[in-house]
Structure 1
């Protein structure tokens, strides 16, 4: 039999190849990634103008830059705890994140969680591309449709080549953007860009201060932003060796994602307060141009180029989610052709949504991040409670690939915990349309709390608690017997069967 094809984009030697794996198990022989790549990878995951835009939310609600920076940093760190712990599942199981969720929701029941995560991946790219087109139109006058098509196609191409090329693209994007964002930060501290903003300001802006509603909203958006990475992380850590240190991996992901996230949100907050910025790319252009003619345009172009791997990140994980969903209904051969077709279909949907949804990118960002948190919180609570407190990392991996296995087609414990947790969140929802400046939906308890949104906290506690209680009836001893009876050949057989199907 033929052995699985070598994949070596980042390491030289074999050249650039299209990744052969997708929703299948990664054998130990193909675990070529390095722990040292995870910190920089997730640092860049937040190190871009999208995260800067999150820092505009607080000042837009009357919160000062200092309070916005604090709320954003605390929210980012809170959300990063969840994404970092999800990351440890990749090397231990060698599977994409949403395949693992079959243990909690069942082979077919996982579709419930898949719909939520697919909404996040596609929605993120819709907002991403909207921010790009808005910024490029304001700075260069570029046609929005052309900019959207180019950005989406670039992201699709990177995601088609897959894991290794994406890691390499992230590394180079960090190298070129880090010095420029450091320069912008220092320049802003010394007053760069102020004279330009003074001439364009239509009227004096109201004084910014403190508001519990604004602080809680900024915290929740920061938390949701990095909790949203929870369904991604294992996808990009599953090529690490199985016995990678869990503690070191969690620390690397946490430090990378939280440091860059706090930095960029803080930068956005000060751009909003001092320059009255409403568009991240326009603000970066303004600061750069105040230092040196033409530098602003360079910063904008590098920022957009460095952001393209993020579009690929969403597209790649959306592809894994889509294939998992289809496979849960009808068996899918995870071939390269299936990967490419899924990526092209997802990219087409994103382009359609970008062109169909007209509106301010920052307003879309604000509303989307809040909605995203509502859908993801019950899932992440169920998944983490199962992994760390119920089954404690012990799974029968071959059983993830059949509805007749140990985890069955439907796992009502996980489904019930998700639904109960989501229902418990509804009275605490606070959805606000920043563009129309009106409330869309305010739950009963959110109204009593004066608009402070703690739905995410309710969802974490209720979903996690309900799942833990329901899981006390699981026969873990029987599961352990099955796991111990498995041999390395069982895992190798999964990979070999998939390779033969190709």
Structure 2
């Protein structure tokens, strides 16, 4: 797989102890690189092992698919979406940069703000949903108002994010063992106690239902692409690219297939399935009190991914601000920024009516539309055009070779958005292709293909594309 001249550098020694992170968007120096590729496996397993993932598996049975048909669609969708995500992870060790700031090479310093803002909205949106879901789980057992639990859970997530990268990895890694144990028993309970395909009024395979479930699973996985390098950028540059991609893929795909398939089974056997109450009832039938315990044990995973989202939102927000003015936040600045993100999540969660959660997936679907073209352009640039060779200081220099506005990337992005319009199925609005597919939304497919092809066509005649290998040049440190 491609990489730059950093691959020839000697690996940095392992660091010991947990330290408060001081880095933000600038490249991680070689003497601070540490960790192993396998650490990405449990990190993304836990990151994806949240109740929101399980809800994605409800889609197929709700549309009349048998459980096994929904599971097949989930397998195909997860396989496709996770591949896209895992390929982004390889960029972290090679460049030492967070995921989104790499987009400056394709969009320009200021042009990249367009996908930056979309990504921040995704982070905020996911955290609003996660904190509401975690609070619903806690209030089934514990007293306290929603506002109290929102504030407490968000505060814990923000503190973890302030400490930063290493604590995030540690939390996710240890939660993996807890989740495997608890949900392993819940899955056993589901297989023993639930009878699949007993609640659908009519079991009838339809390609539209199959494609809707497939696209939901694939889209959910692709949405993680915007921050995978944030958590691989501290790895030594000599880390095997294949191992980085493989461990990211195994972790993220393993938990997604597990939870989405469990969701499909539950939705096919339980009337009006709901993530918290359905699992609680199932677990308590299996072993008195176990369902309630299992729901409470799902809360730490939700807090963990909230911390991951806060951390990613901070990095992306700083990347956007520094496109217009210099900014080098220290620990106090990081804490202040994360506190602001937490406050925004809290205020949004408080302001939402209960009925809003019914349409929250529509918001995430809209965000997916704006993220897929970015992913296509970023991967095409990294793997096919520049082949991992970037002048990193130019990503921080307004007068550098990537410029303020890189029109090939911007035009390809807009072209991808336009290509998706005939395929869109959102909030009752359907394009002609979606109508022909009985409402199936496959917009991410043409969005990805058209953005990648258009970017490649616009870039291939530019001088210096692909560039010759360049010696690694560090960006000025703040």
TM-score if structure 2 supplies the norm length?
Answer: 0.92
Aligned match of 1:313: 308
Q: Do residues 476 (structure 1) and 430 (structure 2) align?
A: no
Residue pair 2:137, 2:296 contacting (<8 A) in 1 also: no
Residues 13 and 237 (structure 1 numbering): CA distance in 2 closer, same or farther, change over 3 Å? closer
* Runs of at least 4 residues off by over 6 Å: none
Aligned match of 1:443: 431
Distance 1:236 1:296 in 2: 33
Aligned pairs, number:
463
Aligned match of 2:236: 241
Deviation for aligned residue 1:111: 0.3
1:113 paired residue among 112, 115, 118: 115
Residue pair 1:57, 1:218 contacting (<8 A) in 2 also: yes
Residue pair 2:99, 2:228 contacting (<8 A) in 1 also: yes
Deviation for aligned residue 1:229: 0.8
Matches within 5 A, 1:122-271: 122-138=124-140, 143-191=145-193, 206-271=201-266
Distance 1:452 1:414 in 2: 28
Aligned match of 1:403: 398
1:461 paired residue among 424, 434, 449: 449
Deviation for aligned residue 1:285: 1.1
2:23 paired residue among 11, 18, 21: 21
Q: Do residues 61 (structure 1) and 63 (structure 2) align?
A: yes
Q: Do residues 379 (structure 1) and 374 (structure 2) align?
A: yes
Residues 277 and 243 (structure 1 numbering): CA distance in 2 closer, same or farther, change over 3 Å? farther
Query: After the TM superposition, which of the residue ranges 273-282 and 50-59 deviates more from structure 2?
Result: 273-282
Distance 2:301 2:108 in 1: 38
Aligned match of 2:418: 423
Aligned match of 2:48: 46
Distance 1:367 1:254 in 2: 26
Residue pair 1:429, 1:446 contacting (<8 A) in 2 also: yes
Residue pair 2:49, 2:255 contacting (<8 A) in 1 also: yes
Residue pair 2:36, 2:239 contacting (<8 A) in 1 also: no
Query: After the TM superposition, which of the residue ranges 142-151 and 263-272 deviates more from structure 2?
Result: 142-151
Residues 211 and 140 (structure 1 numbering): CA distance in 2 closer, same or farther, change over 3 Å? farther
- What secondary structure, in the 3-state scheme, does the structure 2 residue paired with 1:329 have? coil
Distance 2:416 2:141 in 1: 44
Residues 428 and 183 (structure 1 numbering): CA distance in 2 closer, same or farther, change over 3 Å? same
Residues 151 and 209 (structure 1 numbering): CA distance in 2 closer, same or farther, change over 3 Å? farther
Deviation for aligned residue 1:207: 3.5
Residue pair 1:64, 1:208 contacting (<8 A) in 2 also: yes
Distance 1:64 1:225 in 2: 21
Residues 137 and 212 (structure 1 numbering): CA distance in 2 closer, same or farther, change over 3 Å? farther
Residues 139 and 427 (structure 1 numbering): CA distance in 2 closer, same or farther, change over 3 Å? farther
2:346 paired residue among 341, 348, 351: 351
Distance 2:325 2:226 in 1: 22
Query: After the TM superposition, which of the residue ranges 214-223 and 308-317 deviates more from structure 2?
Result: 214-223
Structure 1 residues 326-345: Cα deviation after superposition (integer angstroms, max 9, x where no partner): 01111111322221122111
TM-score if structure 1 supplies the norm length?
Answer: 0.88
Distance 1:89 1:463 in 2: 20
- What secondary structure, in the 3-state scheme, does the structure 1 residue paired with 2:426 have? strand
The root-mean-square deviation of aligned C-alpha atoms, in Å, is: 2.1
Residues 153 and 258 (structure 1 numbering): CA distance in 2 closer, same or farther, change over 3 Å? same
Residue pair 1:382, 1:464 contacting (<8 A) in 2 also: yes
Deviation for aligned residue 1:453: 1.4
Structure 1 residues 209-239: Cα deviation after superposition (integer angstroms, max 9, x where no partner): 4232222121111111111111110000000
Distance 1:221 1:139 in 2: 32
Structure 1 residues 53-100: Cα deviation after superposition (integer angstroms, max 9, x where no partner): 111222233333222211122111111011100000000000001111
Residues 137 and 277 (structure 1 numbering): CA distance in 2 closer, same or farther, change over 3 Å? farther
Residues 359 and 442 (structure 1 numbering): CA distance in 2 closer, same or farther, change over 3 Å? farther
Residues 334 and 85 (structure 1 numbering): CA distance in 2 closer, same or farther, change over 3 Å? same
Aligned match of 2:99: 97
Distance 1:478 1:456 in 2: 27
Distance 1:477 1:71 in 2: 39
